[in-house]
Amino acid sequence: MRHIDFSPLYRSTVGFDRLFTMLDSLGQPDNGQSYPPYNIERTGDDAYRISMAVAGFSEGDIEIESHRNVLTVKGERKEENGNGGDVIYRGIAARAFERRFQLADHVEVTGANLKNGLLHIDLKRNVPEEMKPRKIAIAAAPAESKRIEANAA
């Protein structure tokens, strides 16, 4: 895969280092990480939902943390040998996982629930009032009357 060097841009820009770091990380593979599978869907104008398939995990096995625009979901299942039988074939994955999601500015986690083996994480974009676009009223200039007078000679 092609790698782009953003270091010349660091010299002439201020405050865009996070953007360049994000662009740089897009070119790097995610180490082939495909577990657990997930969906990201838009549920409203400023609302999103991440759904992850975490069959076999309970609420106590999963940890969700949001810090500095990064949402981290970790799962580690405790071994349970209470069945009394030997497993002949293990097709249900029980391995530990850690999945990170880069969140945009002003996106906050509003809740999470686990139902039927799916972990749903609800997100909402809350843009502060001072960051929202606002309309500027245009005031009419006072009308100046121009009078043209002829000089009598």
Quick: pLDDT tens for 8-57: 666 666 666 666 666 666 655 555 567 888 999 999 888 999 999 998 88
Give the domain range for residue 38.
34-80+88-127
Residues 3 and 49 in one domain: no
Residues 27 and 43 in one domain: no
Residues 38 and 76 in one domain: yes
Report the chain's mean pLDDT, rounded to a whole number: 80
Q: What's the whole-number mean pLDDT along residues 50-71?
A: 90
Residues 49 and 121 in one domain: yes
Residues 10 and 43 in one domain: no
Residues 16 and 56 in one domain: no
User: Which 3-state string (H, E, C) describes the chain?
Assistant: CCCCCCHHHHHHCCCCHHHHHHHHHHCCCCCCCCCCCEEEEECCCCEEEEEEECCCCCHHHEEEEEECCEEEEEECCCCCCCCCCCCCCCCCCCCCEEEEEECCCCEEEEEEEEECCEEEEEEEECCCHHHCCCCCCCCCCCCCCCCCCCCCC
Residues 23 and 3 in one domain: yes
Model confidence at 7: pLDDT above 80: no
Domain count, the chain: 2
Residues 39 and 49 in one domain: yes
Residues 38 and 74 in one domain: yes
Total Cβ atoms within 10 A of residue 23: 13
The CATH number of the domain holding residue 112 is 2.60.40.790
Cα gap 22→25, rounded to integer Å: 5
Q: Which token pair is 69?
A: 């625009």
